[in-house]
Amino acid sequence: MSTTAITSGLLYLVLAPLIGGLIAGMDRILSARMQMRVGPPIWQPFYDVGKLFSKEQLVVNHMQTTLISGLLFFMVITGLLFFTGYDLLLVIFTFTLASIFLILAAYRAGSPYSFIGAERELLQIMAYEPMVLLVPIGIYLVTKTFSISEILKFETPLIFYLPGVFIGFLHVLTIKFRKSPFDLSSTHHAHQELVKGLTTEFSGPSLALIEIAHWYENVLLLGMIYLFFAPIPWVGVLLALGLYFLEIVIDNSFARMKWEFLLKSSWWVALIFGGGNIILLMLFKH
Amino acid sequence: MSSIIKSPWVIHYDGSSCNGCDIEVLAALTPRFDVERFGIINTGNPKHADIFLITGSINEQNISIVKNIYEQMPNPKIVIAVGVCAATGGIFRECYNVQGGVGEVIPVDVYVPGCAVRPEAIIDGVVKGLGILQKKQEEWSKQA
Amino acid sequence: MNLILFLILFPFVISLILKTNILPDGIQKALIVISSLVLALVSAMLCFNSTSAETIAQLSQLFFSHTQQITLFGFEVALAILIYFFAFKHEKIWVAVINTVQLILLIALEMKMNSGVAAEGISKLYSLPIFFLDQFSIIMALIIGIIGGLIAIYANGYMKDFHAHHKEMKDKRSGFFFIIFIFLSAMYGVVFSDNLLWLHFFWEITTLSSFFLIGYKGDTESINNAFKALLYNLIGGVGFVIGIFYFFTSSGSVSLDQLVTAGKAGLLIPVALLAFAGLSKSAQMPFSSWLLGAMVAPTPVSALLHSSTMVKAGVYLVVKLAPALMGTWVGISTATIGAITFLSASMIAISRQNAKSVLAYSTIANLGLIILCAGIGSSIAVWAAIMIIIFHAISKGLLFLSVGVAEHRIDSREIEAMDGLVANLPKLSILLLVGMAGMFLAPFAMLISKWAVIKALIDSTALLLFPIVFGSAATLFYWVKWMGKLLAQTSSSKSENKGEGNLAEKAISNYEWFALYPLGFLTILSTLLFPLTSILMVEPYLAKDYSLEVGSLNLWNENLTLMVILLALVFIFPIFAKIFSSRYSKVTRISAPYLAGANIGNGNRYQGSLQEMKYTIRNYYLESFFCEKGWSIFGITASIITLAITMFFLR
């Protein structure tokens, strides 16, 4: 492992919650402004998490706490693997592992709301998994490697070869960021039909943990967007942030869809945009 | 740790009422009043909430529900009774099934008067409550 | 050498002893346990002795002969007569017809061989060794010995319970164990035979054994399913015989090794026919329904069929043929059938509520993945195939045996009946969870195989990636929701009524624990040791067929270290979790789940509008999307079309 890899890994470890939290704060302000409100201060997510850590923790059973800590633990690991330049496909496998810990914790809580939230989250994973797997596959077809540090050395921006894969990835990002129309399992908007979905039974420190894991996750996802524009860093960073803004717009302009639409649209997008792109690549690259 | 007063999350419950106060509670969320400025979120889930905001009076049917919700809120927590009905039973006080105000069932920290309560008054009440919440927080952290 | 003969003959002898049924019950059980352990031990010894040149040299001295040929022919005819007997007894015309076809072909082959030998004077037929030994067959032997052995031990405890639950049935346990040991013996034969005639003989014995085991219960459903298995496998068997016939006619040899060499040089038809036999045996679409029918058998049988024997014989043969399949039409269509099977079986598994049915579909899907790899045939694909065979055998053995135990404890095979199992049968549930995680979750080694599958596919036939990515998503869904069901303690399920915690677990017999714990342990151990397995066993095997240097298979470097890191994390994680939960344990309070304030007490009861209620929650099965019928029709049609196209091009 090179020093750059170690540095960027450490930077991720320290800065990701900060950046993720700030992005969440910006998200809330922008959403408020779109609704003609003032919105909270930008540090609000940190206040929330600080408060949660100082509160009592209610659990339905103790195993739930053990499982939920797996979410943060493996999410951080996933990010570390990504930012130290390991294998992209394995990053995605670990990512799934982290998400599954959240789901299992919600199942374990055993309340009807968290149970259905967990089922829906699982459905969401099933919806986005094919597209997420097609990303490293497309990248491999172009660069002949899964290793992120090697991918970064590639000279043309990947977006030129993988526009379809990128569009498909954007589609599933809406699910990953928990934005409408695909925030079926849990949402950061006030009320929903499932109370708080899969986070219903988590309170105090556990909830703070989920929140922090979500920050780490968002930074990781933005990193994956960046991968498509890697050779031109500033464009990459700006576009990653710009696309996050787009997600906020989408979030504020859509109603929540049913699971049928979620599954169908995600799979068709994966097949048509992701699959089409990959088939074209195979035809013309060889 | 003072961040609790910067992020008071609310659960809102309505007992026996005419729903006037509820509408005003929701009005406080709208762009005109925008309580999110203070970090206030209406969670709808007792396990995430710090403040129990009750409108309406207590009747035979909802005693156990109010108790349950209060029980399921993590400490430190405060209760705000919003409106006359929540304070004393209001115009429902003499009904055959009404027990009276919220104070009959769970300890109330702040009473907000009005029929219906104005959004400004609700915000004011919550901000009053934050002082109590902070005190409770200090006691709680000593205890824990 | 002696070890190989021992492995084939020892279980056979034991089975005969068991058949006589003269031993008292206790001694019989002891005999089963001891002989299973002996099998596992000898397989392990084989693994350590394999490197010695002496073993190989001895092996090559055991030649095929005319006497053997005649004897084998006699055996085959005897088997055919046996099948006739059962087919006529139960009026199964098709079985009799296929059996006749096979018998005619066998007679034709016999005549052909005799005339061929007569023409050439001394034939090279008799200069062929019967057996061979390489790393792959050692791996298979280990799987058969250890996992098959454990299943036999488990069956001791299980069958007692089984007959307690099914009082109406006659206790035919001695016959049951007789077949189980014959089965193991035949499996050893399959993985060690180089001579195709011997291979076919053992192959037919596994078919017949599974026929008897599936029909063990003796009711109409079991018998029908048993005949279905027999029929489909006989069809494969016919393909096998035609393959031998064709190969003998064109080259005068009946050696598997030479067949692969000839296949590499372009003699594709016999390779395709043998691969066809492998497909039917490993329950690929369109043959997959026999394996689902096999569910009616007692659980140890399912475990045996799914993990260590029968279906593994099918994939073993196809993987053996992989070098010849690489880059050919036959290879691509084999891979396509594997991919179709993987996709449709994974999709169907989502809609299944019966635990054994989910396991069966998952087996079919995994076999599809193995067949896919074998069809691709590149070194990394075959590496992945062998790895999946290992991990699947262990995890699936564990899962079936655990489900079998759970079934007797909660009187149901339904997944819905298993909620909150973790509270009532904690140890068993953890074993189940380990088994499931072993099937699909990082960092268990199954995932590294999937990594290799994807890499192999991109490098060759990237179009087949689509079934894989969608199938993988479905795989995740059905496993996790089952895990969730085990964890979620919600309703008044059967498992809840069965008594408090460990009480219910006390009823599980020691024989069963004796099989379950090692399997759970092996699931984890196989992940820890997978780099070692790869370097010591799989890569040397590949080195021979693909002229690779050991270690040159570029799988490692980073990923090896990565897996080690991940594994370390699996052990560090509990520490982290412990620190987190104890840091906040003082401020943690147990509270009832949120039920809109209507809770009564701390459990799952709430105040309904009229009376006290209990809530129940069911998993998603999404029947409208993933219905069994639709996806089966898709899978069967697509695979039959693939087969037809292949036949067309081969012609």
Task: List pLDDT tens digits, range C134-192.
Answer: 888 888 888 988 898 888 888 888 888 787 777 777 777 778 888 888 888 888 888 88
Q: Cβ contacts (< 8 Å) between B48 and chain A: which residues?
A: 196, 199, 203, 207
Question: What are the two backbone dihedrals, phi and then psi, of residue C507, each rounded to the nearest 5 degrees?
Answer: -75, -10
How far is residue C331's CA from residue C271's CA, in Å, rounded to a whole number?
10
Note the pLDDT tens digit of each residue in A25-84. 999 999 999 989 898 999 999 999 999 998 888 888 888 888 898 899 999 989 988 988
Which chain C residues have a beta carbon less than 8 Å from that of B68? 592, 597-599
pLDDT greater than 70 at residue C503? no
pLDDT of residue C499: 46
φ, ψ for residue B82, nearest 5 deg: -105, 120
Q: Could you tell me the CA-to-CA distances from A31 to A48, A248, B29, B72 in Å, in that order?
A: 17, 7, 14, 30
CA atoms within 13 A on the CB side of C511: 23
Q: What value does the mean pLDDT of chain C take?
A: 82
- In the prediction, which pLDDT does C415 show? 86
pLDDT in tens, A203-217: 889 999 999 999 999
* Residue with tokens 């691709």, as numbered in its chain: C376
Residue C146 CA to its chain's centroid (Å):
14
Of A114-128, B32-46, C93-107, which range is least confident? C93-107
Looking at residue C547, its pLDDT comes to: 66
CB of B36 less than 8 A from some CB of A: yes
pLDDT at C497: 44
Q: What is the pLDDT, as a whole number, of residue C318? A: 92
The answer on pLDDT for A198 being more than 80 is yes
Residue C23 has pLDDT above 70, yes or no: yes
CA distances from B57 to B14, B18, B72 (A): 8, 10, 20
DSSP state letters, A254-274:
-PPPPHHHHHHHHHHHIIIII
**Interface mutation vs chain B, best among C585, C594, C600, C612, most B CBs within 10 Å:** C594
How many contacts, defined by CB atoms under 8 Å, are there between A and B? 85
Q: A60 to chain C: which residues are within 8 Å by CB? A: 590-593
C-alpha distance from B68 to closest chain C C-alpha (Å): 5
Q: Is the CB of residue A194 less than 8 Å away from at least one CB of chain B?
A: no
CA distance B137 to chain C (A): 13
What residue of C is the nearest CA neighbor of A209? C580
Interface residue A145 vs chain B (CB under 8 A): no
* Residue type at B33 in one-letter notation: F
As a whole number of angstroms, the distance between CA A49 and CA A68 comes to 16
Alpha-carbon distance of C313 to C318, in angstroms, equals: 9
What phi and psi values does residue C549 have, to the nearest 5 degrees? Answer: -85, 145
- Written as six digits, the tokens of A181 are 């129309």
Considering only the beta carbons, identify the residue of A55, A104, A134 that sits closest to C469.
A134
At residue A103, does pLDDT exceed 90?
yes
Q: How many CA atoms lie within 13 A of C391 on its CB side?
A: 35
Q: Does C592 touch chain A (CB under 8 A)?
A: yes
Residue A87, beta-bridge partner list: A147
What is the pLDDT at residue C121? 54
3-class secondary-structure state, position C588: strand
Q: How far apart are CA A205 and CA A225, in angstroms?
A: 30
Task: Name the residue of chain C whose CA is nearest to B69's CA.
Answer: C597
Helical segments of C445-529, H only:
446-459, 465-487, 494-497, 502-506, 510-528
* Residue C148 near residue C184, CB atoms below 8 Å: yes
The pLDDT, as a whole number, for residue A44 is 92
**Distance (Å, whole) CA C438 – CA C431:** 10
Alpha-carbon distance B144 to nearest alpha carbon in chain A (angstroms): 9
Which residue in the set B68, B74, B144 is minimally distant from C599, CB to CB?
Answer: B68
Put simply, the answer to whether A36 touches B76 (Cβ < 8 Å) is no
Shortest alpha-carbon distance between residue C607 and chain B (Å):
9
Whose tokens are 């990010």? That residue is A79
Question: Helices (DSSP H) in C169-255: which residue ranges?
Answer: 173-192, 196-214, 220-251
| Residue A84 near residue A179 (C-beta atoms within 8 A) | no
* d(CA C352, nearest CA chain B) in Å: 34
Could you tell me the pLDDT band of residue C493, with boundaries at 50, 70 and 90?
very low
- With contacts defined as CB-CB under 8 Å, which chain B residues touch C587? 144
Residue to test with chain A: of C433, C587, C615, most A Cβ within 10 A: C587
Residue C144 neighbours by CB distance under 10 Å: 30
Quote the percentage of chain C above a pLDDT of 90. 10
Reduced to 3 states (helix: H, G, I; strand: E, B; else coil), residue C443 is coil
Structure tokens at B135: 């005190």
Chain C residues near residue A209 by CB distance under 8 angstroms: 580
Mean pLDDT, residues C328-337 taken together: 88
Q: In what order do the strands lie in the sheet with B41-42?
A: B41-42, B9-14, B51-55, B78-82, B110-112
Mark yes or no for CB contact B137/A54 under 8 Å: yes
- Say if residues C628 and A147 touch (Cβ distance below 8 Å): no
**Which residues from chain A sit within 8 angstroms of residue C620, using beta carbons?**
119, 122-123
What's the pLDDT score for residue A43? 92
Average pLDDT over residues C112-122: 68
Residues of C with CB below 8 A from A116's CB?
A: 617
Please tell me the distance from the alpha carbon of residue A252 to that of residue A31, in angstroms, as a whole number: 7
Q: Say how far apart CA C244 and CA C233 lie, in whole Å.
A: 16
Of C14-23, C83-92, C387-396, C633-642, the poorest mean pLDDT is in C14-23
C582 vs A: CB within 8 A: no
Segment A151-159 shows an average pLDDT of 86
Residue C236: phi, psi to the nearest 5?
-60, -40
Please name the residue of chain C whose CA is at the shortest distance from the CA of residue A86.
C558
CA distance C542 to C143: 19
Distance between first and last Cα of chain A = 32
Q: Return the closest-CA partner of residue C362 out of C333, C335, C388, C336.
A: C388
- Closest CB to A190 among B34, B39, B44: B44
A163 touches chain B (CB under 8 A): no
The torsion angles phi and psi of A183, rounded to 5 degrees, stand at: -95, 55
Q: Do C456 and C378 meet the contact criterion of CB atoms below 8 Å apart?
A: yes
Contacts with C589 from chain A: Cβ below 8 Å: 56-59
Q: How far apart are CA A216 and CA A77, in angstroms?
A: 10
Chain C interface, mutation test: which of B68, B105, B141, most C Cβ atoms within 10 Å? B68
Contact C607 B66 (CB under 8 A): no
Distance CA C552, CA A271 (A): 35
- Predicted confidence band of residue C549 (pLDDT cuts 50, 70, 90): low
Residue C57 has pLDDT above 70, yes or no: no
Least confident piece of the model among A72-81, A119-128, C400-409, C501-510:
C501-510
A163-176 helix and A233-253 helix, angle to the nearest 10 degrees: 50
Q: Which two tokens stand for residue B16?
A: 């026996």
- The tokens for C637 are 């049609």
Are residues C598 and B144, on separate chains, in Cβ contact within 8 Å?
no
- As a whole number of angstroms, the distance between CA C218 and CA C228 comes to 14
A95 dihedral zone (left: phi>0; alpha: psi -120 to 50; beta) = alpha
> What angle is formed at CA A228 by the lines to CA A223 and CA A231, rounded to 5 degrees?
95
**A29, A38, A51, A192: best to mutate for the B interface, most B CBs within 10 A:** A51
B neighbour chains, 3+ CB pairs within 8 Å:
A, C
> One-letter amino acid identity for C18?
L
**Arithmetic mean of pLDDT, A213-228:** 91
For residue B66, give the chain C residue with the closest CA: C597
Structure confidence at residue C122 (pLDDT): 53
Distance CA C393, CA C363 (A): 9
Rounded distance between C-alpha atoms, residue B105 and residue C467, angstroms: 60
List of residues 6+ apart from C69 with CB closer than 8 A: C110, C113, C125, C197
Give me the torsion for CA of C354, C360, C363, C364, rounded to 10°: -120
Tell me the pLDDT tens digit for each residue of C590-644: 888 888 888 887 777 888 888 888 888 888 888 888 888 888 889 889 888 988 8
Hey, are the CB atoms on A56 and B76 less than 8 Å from each other? Answer: yes
Domain boundaries, chain A: 3-285
CA–CA distance, A161 with A141 (Å, rounded to integer): 10
| Distance, CA of A215 to CA of A159 (rounded, Å) | 25
Across the interface, whether the CB atoms of A109 and C490 are under 8 A apart is answered no
Whether C550 has a pLDDT exceeding 90, the answer reads no
Q: Does A202 touch chain B (CB under 8 A)?
A: yes
Lowest mean pLDDT among A221-235, C474-488, C536-550: C536-550
In angstroms, the separation between the Cα of residue B139 and the nearest Cα of chain A is 12
Per-residue confidence band for A286, with pLDDT thresholds at 50, 70 and 90: low
Average pLDDT of the residues in C473-491: 86
Does residue C443 have a pLDDT over 80? no
Q: Which of A218, A215, A206, A21 is nearest to A114 (CA)?
A: A206
Query: What is the C-alpha to C-alpha distance for residues C221 and C217, in angstroms, rounded to an integer?
Result: 9
Q: Give the whole-angstrom CA distance, residue C286 versus residue C228.
A: 13
Q: What is the DSSP letter of B118?
A: P
Amino acid (one-letter) located at C55:
T
Task: Name which of B68, B74, B144 is nearest C597 (Cβ-Cβ).
Answer: B68
The pLDDT assigned to A217 comes to 92
In this prediction, residue C491 carries a pLDDT of 46
The closest of A2, A6, A42, A15 to A223, measured between CA atoms, is A15
- C118 or A115: whose pLDDT is higher? A115
Question: Do C596 and B65 make contact, defined as CB atoms within 8 angstroms?
Answer: yes
Q: What is the overall mean pLDDT for chain A?
A: 88
User: What is the mean pLDDT of the segment spanning C291-317?
Assistant: 85
pLDDT value, residue C474: 92
Kindly list the distances between the CA atom of residue C645 and the CA atoms of A69, C333, C336, C610, C641, in Å, as whole numbers in the listed order.
52, 8, 12, 65, 6
Interface contact flag, B72 C592, Cβ < 8 Å: yes
- Split at pLDDT 50, 70, 90, the class of C563 is low
Which residues of B are less than 8 Å from A204 in CB distance?
74
Interface ipTM > 0.90: yes
What are the start-end ranges of the H helices in C60-123? 66-89, 93-120
Q: Do A133 and C483 touch (CB under 8 A)?
A: no
- Tell me which range, A12-26, B30-44, C158-172, C301-315, is most confidently predicted by mean pLDDT: A12-26
Q: Which of A241-245, C27-31, C140-144, C626-630 has the lowest mean pLDDT?
A: C27-31
Phi (first) and psi of residue B81, to 5 degrees = -95, 120
- Sorted by where each starts, the structural domains of chain B and their CATH numbers stand as 3-132 (3.40.50.12280)
For residue C548, the one-letter residue type is L
Residue C548: CB partners within 8 Å, gap ≥ 6? C379, C539, C542
Structure tokens given for C494:
């059967």
pLDDT of residue C60: 60
Which chain A residue's Cα is nearest to C448?
A90
Q: Chain A residues with CB inside 8 Å of C465's CB?
A: 134, 137, 278
The pLDDT of residue C496 is above 60? no
Amino acid at site A88: L
Above 80 in pLDDT, residue C492? no
Count of alpha carbons within 13 angstroms of residue B56, beta-carbon side: 20
C128: helix, strand or coil:
coil
Q: What is the pLDDT of residue C414?
A: 86
Q: Which residue, among B37, B28, B27, has the nearest Cα to A39 in the 3D structure? A: B37
Cα C346 to Cα C358: distance, rounded to the nearest angstrom: 9
Specify the pLDDT at position B118. Answer: 92
> Which chains form contacts with chain A, at 3 or more CB pairs under 8 Å?
B, C
From the DSSP assignment, how many helices (H) and strands (E) are in chain A? 11, 1
